[in-house]
Structure 1
């Protein structure tokens, strides 16, 4: 269970000793969620930062017509959260739920702050991770506003190579901001048919 999280840090050049690994293990909470179970719902305050061990989570907004607008998928080895709500303790506009039975590691803001104090290498890690999250959201917004549907689909394949076979066309289309029928046409176009 802990191997994936520790390997995640190691791949990002975060060197941890045995004592620091033990502190990380004591700070995070292991939880299981069923398919379609919410981890966070609109109007709640994000109490946890969530690292996915197994499964896929989706982060999305719901419009006034009940239409989902998927912002992000979080497969294994990814984080899922509304950082704004997590750090400001303001209600979230997002929903995060499980697309598969999922296993996660979660940490509260207070526990995270204490952990960063006690494990200094994590300060740099979280600084870089949060910066990269902001960059990713900015790119997502720019892509949604400026790129063609085909370009957005190609970016999706690069960003989420392991997800296309695991989630429905309806969800991929929602992420891309198109209909499932348009997605079928894009796939044909992308494959050269």
Structure 2
């Protein structure tokens, strides 16, 4: 049962009774997406939060010149969505696209709100996830202002060792805010050190 992965993840943070697990499972949907498919598109309202069972996604902003700016990646046991759009039920600022064939569990906005009422400790659980995401985002902003591209790349490698091997280098470069040529130069320098 694929849903057990979600239950195991949640039970690492809070304890659910069997009855609460059954309520939760009644509110979720299992989905498969192909590489290249979108979970969320800029301008659409994000209707779901997604828990990744297998696969990899990228969250990115497409600017007016058609340039892609990758904000984050998500792999197994991670959550993804356009959180601002999901929470406010307003048009999304970001796209969330599958980089690999991806299996996930989705929870709709309505189901999520119901779950907060039916299982109050889930609200605390999701608050903790959002808090961790906010802290990571703030740290990334500071790194982008205060560190060199090489330093940012080394932190990316350290923090996300399982991701780098799974994604094309131009996506790593986009995440770091540099060109793929500059990333290649950084990697060449590191190989000589």
TM-score between the two structures when normalised by the length of structure 2: 0.94
Distance in 1, Cα, partners of 2:120 & 2:191: 47
In structure 2, the partner of 1:179 is: 179
- Residue correspondence of structure 1 range 9-158 to structure 2 within 5 A: 9-12=10-13, 14-158=14-158
Number of aligned residues:
192
Alignment TM-score, normalising by the size of structure 1: 0.94
* CA displacement, residues 7-60 of structure 1 (integer Å, 9 cap, x when unaligned): 211222x11121111111111111111100011101000110111111001000
Change (3 A) 1:33 1:93: same
For residue 192 of structure 1, report the CA deviation from its aligned partner. 4.6
Aligned-partner Cα distance in 2 for 1:135–1:51? 20
Q: Which moved more, 1:81-90 or 1:55-64?
A: 81-90
Worse-superposed segment, 28-37 or 144-153: 144-153
SS of equivalent residue, structure 2 residue 90:
coil
Shift of 1:158: 2.4
> 2:82 touches 2:95 (CA, 8 Å); kept in 1?
no
Q: What's the C-alpha RMSD, in Å, of the aligned pairs?
A: 1.3
After TM superposition, give the deviation of residue 123 of structure 1 in Å. 2.0
1:125-157 deviation line (CA, Å, top 9, x unaligned): 111111112112212222222211011112211
Note the residue ranges of structure 2 that are not aligned, 5 or more in a row. none
Task: Provide the rounded CA distance (Å) in 2 between the counterparts of 1:139 and 1:4.
Answer: 29
CA separation in 2, counterparts of 1:4 and 1:185? 40
Q: Please, which runs of 5 or more residues in structure 1 have no aligned partner?
A: none
